[in-house]
Amino acid sequence: MDVTTILLLLLVGAIATFLAGDKLASKVALVFSLGALGLSLYLLNLLSQGADISFMGSWIDNPKVALAFKADGLSMAMILLTTALTPLIIFSSFGNTFSNAKSFYALVLFMSFAMTGTFLAADGLLYYIFWELALIPIYFIALIWGNGDAEERKKAVLKFFIYTLGGSLFMLIAFAYLYSKAGSFLLEDLYKLDLTANEQCWVFFAFFLAYAIKIPIIPFHTWQAKVYQKAPTVGTMLLSGVMLKMGLYSVIRWQLPIAPEAAKTYMPILIGLSIAGVIYGSIVALRQKDLKKLLAYSSLAHVGLIAAGCYTLTLDGLSGAVSQMIAHGFVIVGLFFAAEIIFRRYETNKIEDMGGIRSQTPKFTSMFMILVLASVALPGTFNFVGEFTVLYSLSQANIWFAVLGGTTIILGAYYMLKMFQNTMLGETNTRVFADVTTSEAITFIIIIAFLLFFGLYPKPIVDLVTPSLKEILTNINN
């Protein structure tokens, strides 16, 4: 058995969900997503026992394109993130009613299929195809089932689509050039290329445009907040929890090892841009009056720090970045779910319309507070592990990088606790706020348990990804 079985299961699941009809769509999607998670854990167990679960097969002879899927610790960590969050996101949506539910949930599973393919692909053209496929379902999810004014939503989603597609075209051009040099799109062949400094520079920044838009890194972030706000919460969760990790993962897997000298040359500029995103995202978050937009800018700040860790080109930086990717995926899904619960009760995302919720719903308040504290990297949570490791790696590069990057802790604590105070505390709201349902509580408990368990015992994840990261660093430094 190899990793292609996960892809097949998700693809079959998307088709079965669509054929199941609107009434059964959500349940069928949940069953297949849980099956994908179980299969991922089984394959991880095989990998840990030394089995080869990668796949290599021929596909197209001219140009030479292979069906190559690489399964190592790094890719499996991202697969587990995807397959763990997908059923959680689907389950969290059971409190909502969607028109044409069969299409909605089929698109969710298809997006999970495309993101999984992106994390596994070890052939450049195959990787590019999955990268672009992931864009299609989220475009329709945000466009058809999104919130707010239809015209504003269309503009926001179209901008996101054009930005992402435009950046990806530069990456495709880079792959075409690399193919002309290597005669192959295979990742291992591209690693072996001996490119000149000038060639590396052009290839590096072609990749950078695609990844900086997807992550996003400023000044390529302007699509993000509006799309996060206008998309349905399921779409926002998929975007923030998993899809932006495609860009961060690709920096580690593709950009840095293929053009290592360019990465070393421009490291201060890249870290500077990433840290600028930390500060910018935090300051803008302070001024937000819409809860989803505040969380969007909070996410921008956190992924800026993760990107900075990637560009340190150190084992601590890469390891901390991967840990923080996973931790951020869970905590941001939890926070957007909390915003969705408030919206279900009050039908608003405006912070000024909230307040006084704590006196009516102590369970929800407690779970929301834990997620807020995890978001600001409280020791004992998984977010702290990743953030501390990244800041340590930045201090090795330059102490001022760590000092400036550390502002995410101070500013993050300020705007997140202020948001919690304004939404949950204060005078009792005149409107009734029902406490969390059993299904809502289960979603929160799973997320919180994950963050606390790996916050106290991160060793399994660190040990899983470290060999892959060492191999990548070997390619960078050779």
Reported as a single tens digit per residue, the pLDDT across 389-423 is 999 999 998 899 999 888 878 888 999 999 999 99
Token code pair at residue 458: 């991160």
CA angle, residues 99, 17, 77, in degrees to nearest 5: 110
Ranges of the chain whose pLDDT falls below 70: 428
Among the listed residues 4, 119, 2, the one whose alpha carbon sits nearest the alpha carbon of residue 51 = 2
List, as one string, the DSSP characters of 300-345.
HHHHHHHHHHHTT-SHHHHHHHHHHHHHHHHHHHHHHHHHHHHHHH
CA distance 2 to 8: 11
Predicted confidence at residue 225, as pLDDT, reads 87
List, as one string, the DSSP characters of 65-120.
EEEEE--SHHHHHHHHHHHHHHHHHHHHGGGS--TTHHHHHHHHHHHHHHHHHHHH
174-to-118, 165, 204 alpha-carbon distances in Å: 17, 14, 8
Among the listed residues 116, 156, 386, 153, the one whose alpha carbon sits nearest the alpha carbon of residue 243 = 116
Token code pair at residue 140: 């329709």
The reported pTM is 0.95
**What is the total residue count of the chain?**
478
Predicted confidence at residue 204, as pLDDT, reads 95
Neighbours of 151 (CB within 10 A): 8
Predicted confidence at residue 435, as pLDDT, reads 86
Neighbours of 148 (CB within 10 A): 13
Token code pair at residue 66: 């292979």
The owner of tokens 């969007």 is 296
For the chain, count helices (H), then strands (E).
23, 2
